[in-house]
Chain A
Amino acid sequence: MRGAFRFPSTRPALFLLAVFALLIGWADDRLAKAMTWRFPAVNELTVTEHYLTDVGCLLIGARRLAADVAYVQFLQYYGGSEHAEEEDEEHAGHDHGPDGVHHDGPPPAMGMEDYFKRQREHDMSRGVYPRLLELSTRVLRLDPYFNGVILEAAGALAFNQKRIDESLGLLREAIVRDPSFFRYHLYVSAILYKQKGNDPGMIALLMEAIKYPDCPPMLEMILGNLLKQVGRPLDAARVFLHTFQTAHKAHDKADALGRLKLVFSQHPDVARQIGAELPAN
């Protein structure tokens, strides 16, 4: 008998495929709707020499890691230089460097990418960090929820580098990308007070800001200096002590300790009072 070999029926398998396809479609739809957060797309990323690394990390689903790496590179560029008193008044807030390059945000007709490009080309011989905004924007666009870094960068731009507009620009973009993080508004207000010369207003807002663990040590020391300047050495000492106790970087600890000792030497009564406030151990 000549018979034809027959494969088992594919109907059960095709039915299963259809069921799975429907489940995939249903779940995909629900998940897409539930993903209400959004990270900046690849075309929104800041284009730096590390762009390929950033895109590569996105390709393997390591966005947060990309932001971490960007932060490390930001620190390598700027870290260790947060001396609140290294304010070069001659260059505060306006044109820096012999070529007259403006460091307070791009001129109206210039886009951000071109602005970053010009900053990169600027001479760094005067200790200015022209790429500070670019590198911090890079972190922001990789992970808009890496709030601590943005605060650190905004503080550095506003209080160290006197680049108020750049700082406000960074914070405004951060607010757009993460509107729920209210401390951005706090910092914006503090910086605006600074811009207007309203020291009491700024101090009040910074006193609020330092209550949170993500407040950069640099900002705490700026606050401490301000408190000293307005005749509040006890509050200044408390702030420096807090920075010494909580800062992660050895450099920040040493800086805070140095300022604390200076306050103690200038105000022995403050030293006694702080001593009394400290626990016995």
Chain B
Amino acid sequence: MAHSGKTPARYGCHEAREDAEQVMGNRASAEVRALFEEHLRGCRHCRQMNRLLYAVYEGPVIPPAPTGVAEEKDFHAALRRMRTEKPAPWYHTLTVRGGIAVLGASAAALALSLAGVTPATFGFGSGSPDGTVDAVAMGSGTGGDVGGFSGDTGEAPSIKHAAQAYGRVVAGTAVMTDADGDGSQSNTFEVGTQFEVDANESLQIGLLGKMVANATPGSRVTWVKGTASLVELKIDEGMLAVRYDRAASDPILQVRTPTAVVRVVGTVFTVQVEEDEGSAVSVLRGQVEVLDPVTNQTVAEVESGDRYDVAKGNYDTVGRFEVQSALPISKNASGSDSLEARIPESWHVPGLPADDANRTLAYVPERSRASVIDGPSIRVVGTTGSGNGGGHASQGHDAEPLPVKPAARRVENDSDDIIADLMEGAATARRKELIAALRNCRDLYASNETRYLAATCIGRFLKQYDDHPLAAEAYLLRGMLRMDYALDYKTAEVDLETYLRRAPNGRQVEKARYRLWLSATEDGRINEALKRARTYLDTYPNGRFVGKIIQRFPELKNSL
């Protein structure tokens, strides 16, 4: 301290600089402070210096930390780093010999690559079946884990190409309005499309090749956003169920209601909005966050088995209604063959018997109806989910008077005719058993609520009648169903290729080729999709699906 206890005879710039820090820290005596301030009044340079020193000690103004989606992404990025930055075991630091071995292996790999042999030849690596390098497919695997960050294979966003940024009507009837307010009857749609689902029939749609949604009769749903980082759906009325097995590189899914934003952290949840605009969120698998739509702040985290009422701020358990709503578009993680009307093991449904045979809707405890749906007062119920199983989204509440919607237009559905062909062929073959089996499949296929079960039915049919000429067409149908409901593109392609192999001159060959292209596109294998698109356009320059291919790959227009 330069002047403790004493006042100097002359208080100049040197003294003022010595005392500046003490004055700022309120540690200087009143006398020193007075001298300091007096000096500053008369010395412009010291004033400037003092201001600067004050700014140094004050520190920078800290920008606010990211919130909402940005915060979510940062957190998951930290978790990904956590896995990649796991410290190596101590013995790794000592493996000089190991290093030499790696060098040797690298040299061998280099030599092999120069010789034109790819690692895929040896069964490691994940090259495309045709050997083409497909960077876009990286990171597009389905994680299916809580938190949605398992199965992460890379940092690259899994939606890279504009051709993927479309949705597709899988089945059902709705009035579709595009972003410009124009009506549409195509089964392919873009961001901004609004759906007013028919009052008597549900609608099933696929988005970005990554999620499949079921809108119950009378729903009004809008696809608001679809980018590599965020997919947003808005529910104004009715109910929506979405299955989304999100991998780390996949976009975040948000479902917006008038009073809440529900963000997918896990994979299976339901959203319900009541007439008074109160929302309720239920989770069947994984975890979701409920955000305030205005501030974007987290209101609640809801875990599997729980139902959260946003307005009341309290929790309950999920009930039959929520399970029922999510079942139609669910699938078992073990594969599309297990598309059954069973509640997936991965779903947490409190009160459900542990016995596998009893994991059906009938055993799900029904919550008091009032807590689920207050009679006709419920206007909007949204459900998003992923998992497996089946159910009837519109059943169980069919006594509720649903809002009357304008006359719906049936959207194009490219699989309707196949089962009719199968039936026709079976009739001519006069095979009673076969007809009965097909009829069962047809009944399942006829309803949007049970159509996903037709894949299993067709699978059983194929097991029994695989040697029958009709079986080839059944492969096509099963491939399409697997693609639409299970989003299991690789398995679907095996079926489609089987069809093409067994019926090279069949009536549906063009459709099978189109579906093969669509599968690669929605799966994000753009190189492969382009190759298949060219093959299709070369074979069918005036084909039924040319418009759809050009819509997603406008650059191919010149090749026509």
Q: Do A and B come from one complex?
A: no
Binding site for A on B (CB under 8 A): none
